């Protein structure tokens, strides 16, 4: 029986991928390694409780003894590496955590897999490293979208730590012939996303009748991909991508932040008219340091090689996301813990808490 190690599988994208994998490849066994920090929530996996095809292991990807023991105990032939510190604002507050998890953690996984797979007979192993469009830097309003050949130019500690991890993965393919692949994705949204990120943050603030802060003028542009489209692309690359290659997974849905939040709150007003005019809650706050202007990904490579395209447009994806959060407001309240409120106070000031 095939066994896949999914790191960070209790987090937002990782948990969505685990659920997607159980539907699409029910014959696979999933070993889910997650440190269960503030963003890694076992509740995201509640539907899989008692499922013999899913094993949750609480632990740190940078713990070499633990990671090595997992490769010794289990017949792991695939790795999908989501685990990472991902929030730019938090990386500005505490960059050391990002270097440890994203760089050292990735190195630890690579080394454990390389040692375990030496001389492996039978099934060809695969290691998929999930990365971000932020490693490429920032685009101007009229610049062409990033391609897989765009030089790296990270502008935040988060982006730099992911760039370092990407380069390590690439080096293992070049040096050792290690069966590595990389995907760089645009901004994800959908169910289970921790409310520090823009869409669930704006939604949770609006539901509470609190200010919805927007950095600067809200003109910064992001490309948005619905998380299920990302999961579908990741599985496709894992199974059919060429080792040593990088594939961009973009949603082809570019929006300025202010326009995105306005659309979100307009849809919320349609679905919950008793909330009044949530768009009036939008407020503008001082821009964050090193705020990239625009991200966009050229997806011609994965479209041509693997016939992947995003299927969920932004309005449909936002409606599906809103429906999930409105049906799971108890989940939202539980994750908005005291520690989260302390973070909001530090980042935006007392008015938003």
User: pLDDT tens track of the chain, all 353 residues?
Assistant: 679 999 999 999 999 999 999 999 999 999 999 998 877 788 899 999 999 999 999 999 999 999 999 999 999 999 999 999 876 777 788 889 889 999 999 999 999 999 999 988 777 999 999 999 999 999 998 999 999 999 999 998 899 999 999 999 999 999 999 999 999 999 999 999 988 889 999 999 999 999 999 999 999 999 999 999 999 999 999 999 999 999 999 999 999 999 999 999 999 999 999 999 999 999 999 887 878 889 999 999 999 999 999 999 999 999 999 999 999 998 888 777 655 456 446 654 655 54
CATH 3.40.50.720 is right for the domain spanning 3-193+224-252+294-312? yes
Six token digits for residue 147: 């391609």
Across the strands, what pairs with 56? 32
* Pairing relationship of beta strands 29-34 and 54-58 according to DSSP bridges: parallel
pLDDT in tens, 277-324: 999 999 999 887 878 889 999 999 999 999 999 999 999 999 999 999
Per-residue pLDDT at 346:
62
Per-residue pLDDT at 342:
61
The C-alpha atoms of residue 273 and residue 26 are separated, in whole angstroms, by 40
- Environment class of residue 89 by beta-carbon count within 10 Å: exposed (0-12), middle (13-18) or buried (19+)? middle
Tell me, letter by letter, the H, E, C secondary structure of 21-68: HHHHCCCCEEEEEECCCCCCCHHHHHHHCCCCCEEEEECCCCCHHHHH
Per-residue pLDDT at 257:
96
The C-alpha atoms of residue 13 and residue 197 are separated, in whole angstroms, by 13
Catalytically active residues are 133-134, 158
Global confidence as pTM: 0.92
Counting every residue written for the chain, the total comes to 353
Residue 32: φ, ψ to 5°: -110, 110
Residue extents of the structural domains in the chain: 3-193+224-252+294-312
Using alpha carbons only, what angle is made at residue 181 by residues 6 and 98, rounded to the nearest 5 degrees? 60
Contact predicate 265/202, CB 8 Å? yes
Per-residue pLDDT at 94:
84
For residue 320, which of 250, 224, 252 has the smallest C-alpha distance? 224
The C-alpha atoms of residue 153 and residue 6 are separated, in whole angstroms, by 28
Sign of CA dihedral 24, 80, 90, 293: negative
Packing angle between helix 257-271 and helix 314-327, nearest 10 degrees? 50
- Environment class of residue 320 by beta-carbon count within 10 Å: exposed (0-12), middle (13-18) or buried (19+)? middle
Per-residue pLDDT at 353:
47
């Amino acid at each position: 029986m095939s066994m896949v190690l999914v790191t960070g599988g209790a987090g937002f994208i990782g948990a969505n991928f685990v659920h997607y994998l159980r539907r699409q490849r029910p014959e696979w066994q999933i070993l889910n390694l997650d440190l269960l920090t503030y963003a890694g929530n076992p509740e995201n996996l509640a539907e899989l409780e008692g499922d013999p095809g899913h094993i949750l292991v609480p632990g740190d990807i940078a713990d070499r003894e633990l990671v090595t023991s997992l490769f010794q105990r289990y017949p792991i032939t695939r790795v999908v590496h989501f685990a990472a510190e991902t929030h730019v604002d938090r990386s500005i507050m505490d960059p050391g955590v990002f270097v440890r998890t994203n760089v050292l953690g990735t190195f630890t996984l690579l080394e454990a897999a390389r040692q375990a797979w030496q001389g492996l007979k039978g099934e060809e192993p695969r290691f998929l490293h999930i990365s971000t469009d932020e490693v490429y830097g920032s685009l101007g309003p009229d610049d062409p979208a990033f391609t897989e050949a765009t030089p790296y130019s990270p502008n935040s500690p988060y982006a730099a730590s992911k760039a370092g991890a990407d380069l390590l993965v690439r080096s293992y393919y070049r040096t050792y012939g290690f069966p590595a692949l990389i995907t760089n994705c645009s901004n994800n949204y959908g169910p289970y996303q921790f409310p520090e990120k823009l869409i669930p943050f704006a939604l949770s603030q609006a539901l509470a009748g609190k200010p919805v802060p927007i950095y600067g003028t809200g003109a910064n542009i992001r490309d948005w991909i619905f998380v299920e489209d990302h999961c579908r692309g990741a599985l496709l690359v894992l199974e059919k991508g060429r080792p040593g290659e990088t594939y961009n997974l973009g949603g082809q849905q570019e929006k300025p932040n202010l326009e995105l939040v306005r659309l979100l709150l307009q849809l919320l007003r349609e679905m919950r008219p008793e909330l009044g005019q949530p768009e009036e809650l939008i407020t503008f706050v001082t821009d964050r340091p090193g705020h990239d202007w625009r991200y966009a990904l050229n997806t011609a490579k994965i479209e041509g090689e693997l016939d992947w395209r995003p299927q969920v447009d932004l309005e449909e994806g936002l409606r599906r996301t809103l429906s999930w959060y409105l049906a799971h407001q108890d989940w939202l309240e539980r994750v908005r813990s005291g520690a989260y409120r302390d973070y909001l106070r530090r980042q935006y000031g007392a008015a938003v808490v």
